Amino acid sequence: MVVFYKMIFRVFLGIVFVPEDKIGLVTKKFVLLGPNKSLPEGRIIATLGEAGFQAKPLPPGIHFWYWLWQYEVKLESLTVIPQGKIGLINAKDGAELESGRILGRKVDCDSFQDAEKFLINGGRKGRQSQYITTGIYRINTNLFEIELTNMAVISENMVGIVTTLDGEPLPAGSIAGKDVGGHNMFQNADAFLEAGGYKGLQPQVMLAGSYYLNPWFIQVEETKMTEIPIGHVGVVISYVGQDGEDLSGTEFKHGNIVGKGYKGVWAEPYGPGKYPINNYIMRVELVPTTNLVLNWASARSESHQLDKNLSTITVRSKDGFPFNLDVSQIIHIPTNEAPKVIARFGNMTNLVSQVLEPTIGNYFRNSAQDSDVIAFLGTRKERQQSAREHIRQVLDQYNVNGVDTLIGDIVPPESLMKTLTDRKIAEEQKVTFETQKQAQETRQLLEKETALAEIQKDIVKADQGVLIAKRVADASVEKATGEATSVKLQSTAEAEKVKVLASAEAEKTKMLASAEAEKISKTGNAEAEKILAIGKSSAESYKLAVSAMGGDNFTQYKIAETIGKDRIKIIPDVLISGGADNTNSSISGLLGLKLMDELARKGGSEAKPELKLKGDKPEKHD
């Protein structure tokens, strides 16, 4: 039913419905009225209402007056560019490309979504320099063909060498274009072309990363970055650029050395590291800056392989014998001299083959012709020193330092060596015989001397006995003399000691007596003065007391004071007396006396009670 109504609307009202995810591509079958009934010759897209494919597609929505009998509307999906892709555009209609161009230049057409604007603004037919990136576009596929391609990716430690397919022709004699800017690493082809960029090999390189590159405009070749190892420098030889000023000086006649960026050998070499070098327009020659050993020996070669073509040197002696010798040469190239070495020889291999190999080989050949083999072997050290000085002077002329020259194995002819060996054996045998003869003579002399030594031992022993006896006697005399002297000295010392002690003792006694007398004298004087002072004081006191109390009273006072002070008992403690009324008075008195005696012993210092007998009856007084 829906289809039926669509057909009704389409036929009678010319209604076209375009969904949201589609566009309508319109084809006009004919033109009833108007001057533009047909397209110009060579055109396939109509911009002025001509019959044919219409430039302007129908966007999503409802559109009127597109009758079925005059218009054909084809629903086309939107153009989708996925992530990591770009869309290349090929225009089927437009102006002809300029002569010598392969890409149509960019025009204002809303990323090819406005086909009418593209054609009106002079868009060219064919492949376009502009591309579309990730997104969704409403593109008229009657005019534009879309081709998807991947983004360009430059890997780590790699460099992209660029060749452009469009631009100005290279000048005669040039191998690469000039370096132009503003094109965002060749992602903007139109900016490159507008800046006058040349087609072909480009001096600029691309580093690691992802880029939107139009493969119809640019081709990128990945290559490894140039690595300069430690112990080396890289001398740059540039094949492009302007001719620069020669920096090598007037004395250097073997090529131009120029500044960085100019054509020729650069005066400043690169140090160890990795560099993004375009090896199509530049060459980097590695030059070792450490001591370099080169071996003229068939059985030995260093890891740098510069001496792989060198072999043992064969020379001929003065007496006509050929023999071989191995030589090692140590050289050093300073960093600032490396560009001159490369400018002169081109590379290190040429330095070895053109200078070192002939110089060292010819020197030893000439040296060997002045001597026979035996003399050459015997003067090896001197010849090595001479070779070192000669080769050093030669290498200085080539900006190379000769560090040392060493002679290795010397291999004389086998026949000569046999003769020399036989001669040497004979000489050694002669020396051996002479040595054995001398050994026998020495042995005889030894036997004789041994016998004399045995006899001499007894003689020496007797002589030593006499000498020992004499020494013993002398020792006894000396000992007796020493003992006598010792006794004499001891006696004298003892007497002196007694004398000194006696004198000291007498002096001591004298001093003690004098001190004691002085002490007694002063003590007596002091006591006398004390007694005199006390007596005078007591007399003065008594005199005053007698004057105050009177003579009799003072006498009684002193008697009472003396009795009290000295505790003189004037009344007995126990009085025993007899009487008619107490028959036991005697016994009681004795018991009381006994009791007082016990109390006295317990009291310690208390005096025994005094008993006073009064008749037959003891009497006690407290």
pTM of the model: 0.61
Q: Using CA atoms, how far apart are residues 104 and 166, in angstroms rounded to an integer?
A: 10
Q: Is the pLDDT of residue 126 over 50?
A: yes
Please state, in angstroms and rounded to a whole number, the distance separating the CA atoms of residues 571 and 577.
15
For 503, left (φ over 0), alpha (ψ -120 to 50), or beta? alpha
Q: Which of 91-100, 342-351, 532-541 has the lowest mean pLDDT?
A: 532-541
At 53 the pLDDT is 94
Q: Where are the alpha helices (DSSP H) in 550-579?
A: 551-566
Over residues 24-39, mean pLDDT: 82
Which two tokens mark 593?
A: 């006396």
Say if CB 248 and CB 257 are below 8 A apart: yes
Burial of 216 (0-12, 13-18, 19+ CB in 10 A): buried
Instruction: Pick the more confident residue, 78 or 617.
Output: 78
Band (pLDDT 50/70/90 cuts) for residue 559 is confident
Q: What phi and psi values does residue 429 have, to the nearest 5 degrees?
A: -65, -40
Quick check: helix, strand or coil at residue 131?
strand
The proportion of the chain whose per-residue pLDDT surpasses 90, expressed as a percent, equals 45
Please identify which residue in the block is written with the tokens 């009856």.
Answer: 617
The beta strand positions in 101-197, using DSSP E, are 126-132, 135-137, 144-150, 152-154, 158-164
Residue 480 amino acid letter: A
Structure token digits, residue 385: 């020193």
The answer to whether 14 and 65 are in contact (CB under 8 A) is yes
What's the rounded mean pLDDT across residues 252-278?
A: 91
- Top mean pLDDT of 199-208, 369-378, 556-565 is at 199-208
- Structure confidence at residue 585 (pLDDT): 55
| Res. 584 pLDDT band, cuts 50 70 90 | low
Say how far apart CA 484 and CA 173 lie, in whole Å: 130
Residue range 111-134: average pLDDT? 95
Average pLDDT over residues 332-351: 92
Distance (Å, rounded) from C-alpha 353 to C-alpha 475?
Answer: 95
Q: How confident is the model at residue 602 (pLDDT cuts 50, 70, 90)?
A: low
**DSSP secondary structure code for residue 78 in this structure:** P
Lowest average pLDDT, out of 258-272, 347-361, 585-599, goes to: 585-599
- Say which residue, 31 or 283, is predicted with more confidence: 283
d(CA 267, CA 467): 96
Q: Which of the four pLDDT bands, split at 50, 70 and 90, describes residue 608?
A: very low
482 three-class SS: helix
534 near 570, Cβ under 8 Å?
A: no
In the β-sheet with 617-618, what is the strand arrangement from edge to edge? 574-577, 611-614, 617-618
Q: Which residue has the tokens 């070495």?
A: 341
User: Ranked by mean pLDDT, which of 173-177, 300-304, 420-424 comes out on top?
Assistant: 173-177
359 contacts 390 by C-beta, under 8 angstroms:
no
Strand partners, 293: 330
Distance of CA 480 to the CA centre of its chain: 84
The percentage of residues in the chain with a pLDDT greater than 70, rounded to a whole number, is 87
Cα separation, 282 vs 571, in Å, equals 158
Report the alpha-carbon distance of residue 218 to residue 232 in Å, rounded. Answer: 35
Distance between CA 200 and CA 172 in Å, rounded? 13
Residue 617: which pLDDT band, with cuts at 50, 70 and 90? very low
Better-predicted residue by pLDDT, 431 or 599: 431
pLDDT, tens digit, 9 for 90 and up, residues 508-541: 888 887 878 788 878 878 787 888 878 787 777 7
**pLDDT band at 609, cuts 50/70/90?**
very low
pLDDT in tens, 288-328: 999 999 999 887 777 888 888 888 888 888 877 888 888 99
Mean pLDDT, rounded, of the chain: 84
Name the token pair of 330. Answer: 């140590």
Q: Quick one: pLDDT at residue 375?
A: 79
Residue 409 or 597, more confident: 409
Q: In whole angstroms, give the CA distance from residue 87 to residue 436.
A: 105
Model confidence at 75: pLDDT above 90 = yes
